[in-house]
A and B are shown apart, each in its own frame.
Chain A
């Protein structure tokens, strides 16, 4: 190898093996980046959805109290908010997948000079993660809503 490089001073000789291993390192780095981003996105997602749900429960506490007072069971209220989280997560997942794929297809060639193809196989993952995050983040606010005092509705104006 070094002999070859001396014989051909104007060139740089590398083996296929070296190329592959460099490429592999780059790929590993990108994978790790992607994982770090995913973790950050999950955390940001959980925090912001939990925050949204809590303030939603707070704003609606009087109506929740009314529902409990006219005879909704706490389980019913819990289900209502979990369903809401499910719908929120599902539609967020669909929108996010479409927007993300579209953006990657447009920007990929321009910025990184790589062409990006849609990955339909990722759809179930995108939806599962989005719904999972949304429901997980909503469990505590939903339980809080379910345990509100039904007499609340008569006390505040």
Chain B
């Protein structure tokens, strides 16, 4: 279970301070699919990063299964991101000089899996996403939709219990969006907790819970 208690995040910038999140309190039960919507700049990405152990809140507490995420050591938090949280970035962030297969191997390698095991798991995931014929392609040699599926395979490599996705349908056509939707449904059915930031109405309605953010404040709808 994810719990946020009065979480605020203030970015300091030369142009002044930005209150990206203001006093956000919420809890997300295990196995739920939650969508986050709101206008651009309202703090959606910041909220997702805060939940995923990537952005230290200015004040407040984030806990995963009753363990305070930001009281962990830097190393402990890295371990958490490696094993329990999968993050699907808005811009995918694949390593440009690695092949699709090797990109998916990265978290497996970091988790200490032997090379054969890494490759087997990575191949399975990529083939499952219809990329069996693109294993040796570099990101630049793949279409946007294919890059995203490689990124999703990397996200799922260590079988995380929590999947965080930042605007996953932003660059996809309706057919691809439909496919991604069914992937998230499957993950949901498999019992994963999923939090998705989205502008897509269809996807936004998909969830068990919809969170609306406005200028850093959150309200639960539905």
A64-95: CB near B (< 8 Å → 1, else 0) gives 00111111111110000000000000000000
Indicate whether B177 reaches chain A with its CB closer than 8 angstroms: no
Check B110–A71 contact: CB distance below 8 A: yes
A residues whose Cβ falls under 8 Å from a Cβ of B? 62-63, 66-76, 150-151, 153-154, 157
Q: Could you say which residues of chain A place their CB within 8 Å of the CB of B81? A: 69-71, 150
A154's nearest neighbour on chain B, judged by CB, is: B89
Contact of B90 among A63, A69, A154 (CB under 8 A): A154
Q: Decide yes or no whether B79 CB sits under 8 A from chain A.
A: yes
Q: How far is the CA of A143 from the CA of B78 in the complex (A)?
A: 17
Interface residue SS majority, chain A: helix
Residues of A within 8 A of B54 (CB): 69, 150-151, 154
- Residue pair A157, B91 in contact (C-beta under 8 Å): yes
Task: State the B residues within 8 Å of A (CB).
Answer: 45, 49, 54-55, 74-75, 78-83, 87, 89-91, 93, 95-96, 106-107, 110-111, 154, 158, 166
Q: Which residues of B contact A153 (CB under 8 A)?
A: 89, 93
Known: A71-B80, A74-B74. 17 other contacts (CB 8 A): A63-B95, A63-B96, A66-B93, A66-B95, A69-B54, A69-B81, A70-B81, A70-B82, A70-B87, A70-B106, A70-B107, A70-B110, A71-B83, A71-B158, A72-B78, A150-B81, A151-B55
> Which of chain B's residues have a CB closer than 8 A to the CB of A73?
74-75, 78-79
Q: How far is the CA of A69 from the CA of B49 in the complex (A)?
A: 10
Alpha-carbon gap, A1 to B215, bound state (A)? 102
State the 10 A-B residue pairs at the shortest beta-carbon distance, nearest first.
A71-B82, A71-B81, A73-B78, A66-B93, A151-B54, A73-B75, A70-B107, A151-B55, A153-B93, A71-B78
**CB of A157 to closest CB in B, whole Å:** 6
Contacts of A154 in B (CB 8 A): 45, 49, 54, 89-91, 93, 166
B residues in contact with A75, CB < 8 Å:
75
> Which B residue's beta carbon lies closest to that of A155?
B45
Distance in angstroms between the alpha carbons of A104 and B167 in the assembled complex: 63
Q: Are A68 and B78 in contact (CB under 8 A)?
A: yes
CB within 8 A of A76: which of B49, B87, B107, B110?
B110
Please indicate the chain B residues that have their CB under 8 angstroms from the CB of A68 in the complex.
Answer: 78
Can you spell out 21 A-B residue pairs with CB atoms less than 8 angstroms apart?
A: A63-B95, A63-B96, A66-B93, A67-B106, A69-B54, A69-B93, A70-B82, A70-B106, A70-B107, A71-B83, A71-B107, A71-B111, A71-B158, A73-B78, A74-B78, A76-B110, A150-B78, A150-B81, A151-B55, A154-B49, A154-B54
